[in-house]
């Protein structure tokens, strides 16, 4: 009996020794040299693997950084200081990427918009959208069932009492997950230094839009008329802001809006109480 | 008859309307005719605002091969061409016609057309230009089924008179009241396709319909009228084929794969009418039923009539909580009543009890697995869909084989909206495919 134990230990020990040798040899001769800076940069990244930078994750972004394919500011999650120190370590320019945030093209919460029927069923915007449109009078508006909030990995979105998602620009990393989650395509990522924003997505015009929602854009075009040339274009009864043209502007185009559908948004879009019109002293 | 596996037995609730003869609904003041009432490309409008149109006049051409024509359902004036909301909640460009109150609403008839004198291509085109779609609910353009691809042959025609949806009785009444039309349409299609056999499948809770069709010539020659044991979803194409021929349509394939075509009885009657009188698809029979209706009815309604008007006509009780377009198992709950009746509208079901059962956690009882006629695992599908694991619903649980019959949701004692979760996942996957 003891002989068997000795044999077993001997065999296992021998095997272990054999494999260890193979591994040691492989480690010595088949080693792939990795730039030590990759690991270092990776440790400076937030490890959220959110994908907002366009890479599959933080490790891949670190590799791309060291290889010089991207600039440090491509990471929208890291603080400015962290980005600066990565740039310093690599001896590159941090890159001037602007902070961008997600904003919602709808301000028609339960208080402002008409709901001809109540939706029952799986509590998700995507599911509700398939049931006769979700029960909201406005075909385009926010359903308020929080698919965007559930998709956000940074807890940047909370639903307010009025049934609208409130996005915290400080927490939002512009990763775009909520953009994909919204079945009504209401969320857009916009540069934070251009606060002019259209809070409506209804393609219907004038009275028709207003019958469904008190804060709908009625397509009057005053904002476009008041804006510097090219900044705002009326498309399908809705103003479209051309952020990409980088046209300097003020809050002027929002001032004559009869419904408050176009607004100068700094900070939170709407807050817990949310009645955007009354809060901002807009007419009606 | 071998029947099909699994399935459920919901109470059929047909007593509200099964004995009521089809009545013609009075012509409405105006009709809204969406350009997309069928599966496939939207139709293309041929008329402009201000045009006077005759009842039965072509007002929109098919927008492609899988698409169909559209005709004026009333005589009157085109007053608007604009997006209107339909039952799905989507806005669809529609032609709005205001009815001429002084017109007799007569339909121009033409002498009967002999379908056997037409070649295949012309036959298919005639059906397309008559605007005929499957009247069972899916509204798939019928002519597409008759344009048999090169190298394929249709051996068997299967006619769907099962009407397995609870509450609905429109097919039942059509079979009872116009058996000649139904059999006439069957004869036309059977001859055109050159089939070896034709089976009309009717559930055995409608013995009078079986009788009527047999008297009208069914059961002779190679046309069989089969009484099938009641089970939901007998009327689903694949289940019907399984019940009648004992064969299974491969996953992701059409009945065409087995050399079969499935058509609804109402569609057959529409085809017969078209060849006899030239009447295109401008009206349809629908069942207005449920505990919330004062006077349930089977109505012959011009397409484009507003649901609200029909319900006011039949009278709805004050305690109504929900209106469903179609049957209770597969129908679409309506968020708004100002939507038009479309080619695929088989009924309006008005309910008085609150809609959804309270939801509990899945207890792994497996009843949904036993209910699913497609032999899927609905419990797994629901779980994956709830977690947003869309890809896995396809790769692990075959979400696209689901026919959305709702048997799983019906069977679930925990009140889990299984089929809704499945539909969500399908919609999400389709959205991704489109984005690619
Ligand atoms: S923005 Fe979109 S995803 Fe978010 S609550 Fe509204 S409808 Fe839902
Ligand atoms: S999974 Fe689909 S096919 Fe199966 S029972 Fe549910 S709805 Fe019907
Ligand atoms: S029937 Fe409902 S509770 Fe039972 S296993 Fe299926 S999902 Fe779970």
Distances (CA, A) of B384 to B389, B399, B410, B425: 5, 10, 19, 9
Contacts B91 to A, Cβ<8 Å? 139
Long-range pairs for B117-121: beta carbons < 8 A, 24 or more residues apart: B120/B146, B120/B147, B120/B192
The pick from A138, A162, A187, A202 for probing ligand 1's pocket by mutation, whose C-beta has the most ligand atoms within 8 angstroms, reads: A187
Rounded Cα–Cα distance for residues B186 and B219 (Å): 12
Lowest mean pLDDT, pick from A196-210, B162-176, B382-396: A196-210
* Ligand 1: centre distance to CA B419 (Å): 22
**Phi/psi at B297 (5° precision):** -160, 155
What residues form DSSP beta bridges with B316?
B293
* Ligand 1: centre distance to CA A188 (Å): 12
Whose tokens are 């099909």? That residue is: B4
Give nearest CA residue, ligand 1 atom 7: A142
Q: Which of B89, B333, B420 sits opposite A127 (nearest CB)?
A: B420
**Predicted pLDDT at B1:** 52
* Closest Cα in chain B to A122: B417
Note the ipTM here: 0.85
Rounded Cα–Cα distance for residues A65 and B36 (Å): 51
Q: How confident is the model at residue B113 (pLDDT cuts 50, 70, 90)?
A: very high
DSSP A68: T
**Predicted pLDDT at B2:** 61
Do the chains contact at A133 and B88, CB–CB below 8 Å? yes
Do the chains contact at B420 and A131, CB–CB below 8 Å? yes
Mean pLDDT on B191-196: 92
Helices (H) and strands (E) in chain A, counts: 11, 8
Rounded Cα–Cα distance for residues A85 and B158 (Å): 73
Ligand closest to Cα of A270 equals: 1
Q: pLDDT tens for residues B302-323?
A: 999 999 999 999 999 988 889 9
CB within 8 Å of B431: residues ≥ 6 apart? none
A36-90: which CATH topology?
3-methyladenine DNA Glycosylase II; Chain A, domain 3 (1.10.15)
Give nearest CA residue, ligand 1 atom 4: A148
Q: How many CB atoms lie within 10 A of CB B366?
A: 12
What are the b/e assignments for A193-205, b being 16+ CB within 10 Å? ebbbbbbbbbbbb
Is some CB atom of chain A closer than 8 A to the CB atom of B308? no
Share of chain B above pLDDT 70, in %: 99
Is some CB atom of chain A closer than 8 A to the CB atom of B424? yes
Going residue by residue through chain A (284 aa), what tens digit of pLDDT does each one get? 678 999 999 999 999 999 999 999 998 888 887 788 888 888 888 888 888 788 888 888 888 888 888 888 888 788 878 888 888 888 887 776 678 899 999 999 988 898 888 888 899 999 999 998 888 889 899 999 999 999 999 999 999 988 999 999 988 988 899 999 999 999 999 988 888 999 999 988 778 888 889 999 988 899 999 999 889 999 988 999 999 888 888 888 999 998 889 999 888 887 644 444 433 333 32
Ligand closest to Cα of B397 equals: 2
**Predicted pLDDT at A284:** 29
**Predicted pLDDT at A283:** 33
Do the chains contact at A121 and B420, CB–CB below 8 Å? yes
Do the chains contact at A122 and B427, CB–CB below 8 Å? no
Q: pLDDT tens for residues B18-41?
A: 999 999 999 999 999 999 999 999
B328 touches B206 (CB < 8 A):
no
Min Cα separation B101/chain A (Å) = 28
**Predicted pLDDT at A205:** 79
Whose tokens are 């006011």? That residue is: B312
| CATH classification code of A100-279 | 3.30.70.20
From chain B residues 89-108, the ones with a CB under 8 A of any chain A CB are 89-91
Rounded Cα–Cα distance for residues B56 and B70 (Å): 9
Tokens of B410: 């019906």
**Predicted pLDDT at A38:** 86
Q: pLDDT tens for residues B132-155?
A: 999 987 899 999 999 988 888 999
Q: How many CB atoms lie within 10 A of CB A32?
A: 4
CB within 8 Å of A282: residues ≥ 6 apart? A257, A259, A260, A276
Chain mean pLDDT for chain B: 93
Do the chains contact at B428 and A126, CB–CB below 8 Å? yes
* Ligand 2: centre distance to CA B369 (Å): 9
DSSP A208: H
**Predicted pLDDT at B217:** 82
CB within 8 Å of B162: residues ≥ 6 apart? B201, B202, B203, B228, B234, B235, B240
B4 touches B243 (CB < 8 A):
yes
Do the chains contact at B417 and A135, CB–CB below 8 Å? no
Lowest mean pLDDT, pick from A202-211, B161-170, B243-252, B286-295: A202-211
B234 touches B4 (CB < 8 A):
yes
Do the chains contact at B421 and A139, CB–CB below 8 Å? no
Give nearest CA residue, ligand 2 atom 3: B402
**SS3 string of chain B?**
CCCCCCCECCCCCHHHCCCCCEEECCCCCEEEEECCCCCCCCCEECCCCCCEECCCCEEEECCCCCCCCEECCCCEEEEEEEEEECCCCCEEEEEEEEECCCCCCCCCCCCCCCHHHCCHHHHHHHHHHCCCECCCCCCCEHHHHHCCCCCCCCCEEEEECCCCCCCCCHHHHHHHHCHHHHHHHHHHHHHHHCCCEEEEEEECCCHHHHHHHHHCCCCCCCEEEEEECCCECCCCHHHHHHHHHCCCCCCCCCHHHHCEEEEEHHHHHHHHHHHHHCCCCCEEEEEEECCCECCCEEEEEECCCEHHHHHHHHCECCCCCEEEECCCCCCEECCCCCCECCCCCCEEEEECCCCCCCCCCCCCCCHHHHHCCCCCCHHHHHHHHHCCCHHHHHHCCCHHHCCCCCHHHHHCCCCCCHHHHHHHHHHHHHHHHHHC
Contacts B386 to A, Cβ<8 Å? 122
Interface test with A, best of B82, B335, B430 (most A CBs within 10 A): B335
Contacts A120 to B, Cβ<8 Å? 354-356
Q: So where are chain A's domains?
A: 36-90, 100-279
């Amino acid at each position: 009996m003891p002989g068997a134990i000795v044999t077993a230990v001997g065999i296992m020990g021998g095997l272990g020794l054999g494999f260890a040798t193979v591994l040691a040899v492989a480690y010595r001769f088949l080693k792939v040299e990795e730039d030590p800076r990759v690991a270092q940069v990776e440790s400076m990244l937030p490890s959220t693997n959110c994908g907002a930078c366009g890479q599959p994750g933080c490790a891949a972004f670190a590799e791309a950084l060291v290889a010089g394919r991207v600039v440090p500011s491509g990471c929208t999650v890291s603080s400015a200081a962290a980005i600066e120190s990565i740039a310093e370590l690599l001896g590159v320019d941090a890159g001037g990427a602007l902070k961008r945030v997600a904003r919602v093209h709808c301000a028609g919460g339960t208080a402002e918009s008409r709901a001809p029927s109540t939706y029952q069923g799986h509590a998700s915007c995507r599911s509700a959208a398939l049931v006769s449109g979700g029960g909201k009078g406005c075909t385009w508006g926010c359903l308020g069932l929080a698919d965007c909030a559930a998709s956000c990995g940074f807890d940047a979105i909370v639903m307010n009492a009025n049934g609208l998602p409130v996005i915290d620009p400080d927490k939002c990393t512009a990763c775009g997950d909520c953009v994909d989650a919204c079945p009504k395509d209401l969320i857009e990522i916009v540069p934070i230094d251009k606060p002019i924003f259209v809070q409506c997505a209804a393609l219907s015009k004038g009275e028709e839009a207003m019958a469904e929602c008190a804060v709908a854009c009625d397509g009057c075009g005053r904002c476009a008329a008041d804006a510097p040339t090219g900044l705002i274009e009326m498309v399908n009864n809705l103003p479209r802001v051309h952020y990409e043209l980088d046209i300097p502007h003020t809050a002027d185009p929002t001032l004559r809006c009869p419904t408050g559908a176009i607004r100068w948004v700094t900070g939170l879009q709407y807050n817990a109480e949310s009645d955007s019109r009354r809060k901002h002293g807009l007419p009606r | 008859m071998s029947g099909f596996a699994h399935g459920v037995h919901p109470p059929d609730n047909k007593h509200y309307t099964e004995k009521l003869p089809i009545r013609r609904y009075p012509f409405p003041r105006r009709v809204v005719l969406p350009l997309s009432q069928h599966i496939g490309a939207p139709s293309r409008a041929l008329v402009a605002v201000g045009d006077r149109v005759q009842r039965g006049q072509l007002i929109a051409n098919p927008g492609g091969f899988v698409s169909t024509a559209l005709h004026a359902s009333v005589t009157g004036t085109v007053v608007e061409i604009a997006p209107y909301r339909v039952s799905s909640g989507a806005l669809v460009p529609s032609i709005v016609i205001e009815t001429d109150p002084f017109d007799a609403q007569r339909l121009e008839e033409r002498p009967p057309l002999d379908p056997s004198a037409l070649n295949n291509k012309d036959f298919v085109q005639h059906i397309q230009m008559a605007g005929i779609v499957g009247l069972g609910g899916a509204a798939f353009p019928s002519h597409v089924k008759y344009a048999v691809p090169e190298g394929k042959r249709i051996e068997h025609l299967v006619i769907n008179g099962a009407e397995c949806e609870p509450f609905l009785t429109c097919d039942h009444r059509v079979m009872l009241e116009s058996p000649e039309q139904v059999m006439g349409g069957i004869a036309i299609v059977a001859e055109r396709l050159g089939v070896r056999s034709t089976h009309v499948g009717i559930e055995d809770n409608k013995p009078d319909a079986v009788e009527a069709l047999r008297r009208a010539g069914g059961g002779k020659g190679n046309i069989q009228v089969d009484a099938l044991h009641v089970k939901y979803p007998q009327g689903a194409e694949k289940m019907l084929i399984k019940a009648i021929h004992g064969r299974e349509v491969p996953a992701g394939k059409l009945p065409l794969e087995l050399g079969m075509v499935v058509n609804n009885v109402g569609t057959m009657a529409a085809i017969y009418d078209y060849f006899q009188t030239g009447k295109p698809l401008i009206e349809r029979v629908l069942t207005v039923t449920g505990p919330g209706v004062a006077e349930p009815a089977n109505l012959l309604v011009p397409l484009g009539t507003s649901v609200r008007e029909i319900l006011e006509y039949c009278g709805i009780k004050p305690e109504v909580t929900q209106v469903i377009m179609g049957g209770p198992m597969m129908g679409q709950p309506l968020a708004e009543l100002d939507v038009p009746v479309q080619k695929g509208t088989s009924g309006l079901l008005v309910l008085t009890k609150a809609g959804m059962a309270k939801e509990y956690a899945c207890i792994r009882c497996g009843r949904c697995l036993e209910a699913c006629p497609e032999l899927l695992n609905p419990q797994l599908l629901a779980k994956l869909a709830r977690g947003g694991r869309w890809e896995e619903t396809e790769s692990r649980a075959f979400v696209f084989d689901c026919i959305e019959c709702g048997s799983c949701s019906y069977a679930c004692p925990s009140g889990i909206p299984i089929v809704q979760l499945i539909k969500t996942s399908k919609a999400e996957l389709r959205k991704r495919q489109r984005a690619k």
